[in-house]
Every structure is written in C-alpha cells, then in structure tokens.
Copies of this chain bind each other. A is one copy, B any other.
Amino acid sequence: LDEFRSIAELFAPLARAEAEGLRDDAAFLPARPGQELVITADAVVEGVHFLPGTPPELVARKLLRVNLSDLAAKAAEPFGYLLTVAWPESWGEGARAAFAGGLAADQARFGLGLLGGDTVSTPGPMTAGITALGYAPRAVRRRGARPGDVLLVSGTLGDGWLGLEAARGRGGFSMSDRDALAERYHLPEPRLALAAILRSYARAALDVSDGLLADVGHLAFASEVGCLIQLERLPLSAPAAAWLARQSDRAAALEALASGGDDYEIALAVGPEVVGAVQAAGAAAGVPVTVVGEVRAGTGTTVTFEGRLRAPLRTGWRHD
C-alpha cells in the first residue's frame, strides 16, 4: 500500500482546515483567548488492548472515544486529534479503510477533526496512538478535591468489564444482556454532555478507565486527600444488577465491578451543598449522577460495604 495514497485517500478527508489538508506535516492553531487547551494521549496495541479480529472500525472508534472521555472529564470541548498508526502487513487495504471509516463516523458525531499524525509499518502487532485536543473556558483537573466533598459518578459502573467477561463466555449472561454489555465494552459513550455541569460544580474530576477504585485513588493522589467509596451505592445497569444477584459474595462482586475498568464514566468531587443541583442537572442532560462516597483528610482509597471496612486492594496506576 503506497503511503502517499493511503494518507490522501484514507486520512485527508478527515482533516480539519488547521491541518492544511494533510499537505503539511503540522497543524497550526490560532490562540483562543480565555480558553485553556487541554491535551491528552492514549495508545492501544492489538492483542493487549483489543482482541485480534476486532473489527477495525470498532478499534478506531474506541481509541477515539477513550481520548474523548479524558477531554469530557476536563470539561473540554473536543477540537481535534493527531493519529499515529503502525500498520502490520496483516492489516490490508480493507482493514485500513475500515479503521479510517470508524474515525470518520465518530469524529463527525463528536464534532472534532484530524490535525495530523504519522503512519508507519511494523513487523509487530497493530499499534495506534491518539493525541486529543479540546478547549475549555475552565478546565477541571484531578487535583482540587477537598475533605468534606461528595464523590459522584456518572452512568453505571462495571458494564465494560462484564462485557469483556461475557465476550469470553463467562458470567452466565442472556443473549440480550451479553450484547448490551459487549456494546458498552466496545463503544463507550464519552460523557461530553456533562461539560457544563463539571465546569459549574466540580472541584475535581477524572474519567473512570482503570476501575472506580483505582481512579478515585488517582484523584486522591493528585488532590492530596483520601477518598471513601461505599460499595453498596455503586450505580448498576440492569444486566450488571442481574449478574450481581447471581453472585454469592455480594461485597466481593461489587468490588470486582468497581475494579474492572473500561467504564469511561466520570467521577467528580463537589461541595455537599451542590449535590442536589448536580444530580438535577445530570438528569436533565440525560446522564444520571450517583453519590458513591466522600472525600476525607488522609491519603488513598478506603472501601466499605454496608458500613464495614474492606481489606485494601492493589489499585495502583494501571495503564492498559
């Protein structure tokens, strides 16, 4: 596959004006006074982050959405992205076109465009990285939570992990639950609808990609506080609630749902006086927001189930 043709045919139609139609090898962004530019990067490797045989358009869409989820947690409006791809020979012309098609579909849906990148060949597994950029009048950070804040989380937790379990033939799911969970795993919904709420109310926030317990630990670390998570408050989807009902150890099962990762929900810390306003605004935006714990003085994440302390888990900074 000729790289020039590849870039012109596959990726030039995805380019924003600032990327000069990819005839240049850089993008040029004018300053937006009064706004911060938020930049984040994520990478995936075939066989590590997605199963060989995953449809290329899903690989592309999830990679883009994972980055968009980071921007959403910062209350940033998506603007553009740079893409680096290492193609193995096994990814032929059809697979590459499907990958570009997945990007095209989701960049149109989420209102951003390609700013540049690099395509190379590899003797190894398909590897791709996206650097995503967004603008925010007031970007929300991981740091900023204070003792006494309330911890909330958007949507439902554990579905992405259960989706992967289901894809592996585990968990005893019905056909329709399996499909619903697989969809959550493959195509997370970046919570961009929460931008205005985060901007108005959040002292700190982050997206839940490594599991709630690990990510709340990252928020605690950045904010130099401790966090308490009450497992019985975890918001669950109907398929996850049905799965939970089948488990013998409810606390351990909830802990698994809070550790599995691939949620791409948003955890946020707000002052206790605005919890009602946040939940009302979330409901109005179509995204339920649920209290799952609180911020305390100290360090790390404390986990309880119905008032009893759980033993500490290994919830380090996992990059996967």
Contact = CB atoms under 8 A, between A and B. Distances in A.
- A7, A35, A117, A118: which has the most chain B beta carbons within 10 Å? A118
Interface in A22-73: 23-45, 47-49, 70-71
A274 to B, nearest CB: 23
A23 B141 CA distance: 10
A73 to B, nearest CB: 8
A230 interface: no
A26 B143 CA distance: 12
Interface in A270-320: 316-320
Contact of A124 (B122, B131, B143): B122
B143 A39 contact: no
A34 B34 CA distance: 13
B28 A36 contact: yes
A43 B131 contact: no
Given A31-B34, A123-B47, A206-B25, A41 B131 contact: yes
A190 B26 CA distance: 16
Interface residues of A, number: 66
Nearest to A27: B39
Q: For chain A, what secondary structure do more than half of its interface residues adopt (helix, strand, loop), or is it mixed? A: mixed
A129 interface: yes
A84 B264 CA distance: 20
Given A120-B45, A120-B48, A24 B86 contact: no
Given A48-B121, A84-B84, A124-B45, A27 B38 contact: yes
B36 A33 contact: no
B3 A316 contact: yes
B319 A86 contact: no
Contacts of A42: 84, 118
A5 to B, nearest CB: 8
A30 to B, nearest CB: 6
Nearest to A124: B124
Interface of A: 2-4, 7, 20, 23-45, 47-49, 70-71, 74, 82-84, 86, 115-125, 127, 129, 131, 133, 139, 141-143, 206, 218, 221-222, 316-320
Given A23-B222, A41-B82, A42-B84, 14 more contacts: A3-B319, A23-B218, A25-B40, A26-B39, A26-B40, A26-B71, A26-B139, A31-B32, A31-B36, A43-B120, A48-B120, A84-B129, A127-B127, A129-B129
23 contacts: A2-B316, A3-B316, A3-B317, A23-B221, A24-B143, A25-B40, A25-B70, A28-B139, A29-B39, A31-B32, A33-B33, A37-B37, A41-B131, A42-B84, A43-B84, A45-B120, A48-B122, A82-B131, A118-B129, A122-B125, A122-B127, A124-B124, A129-B129
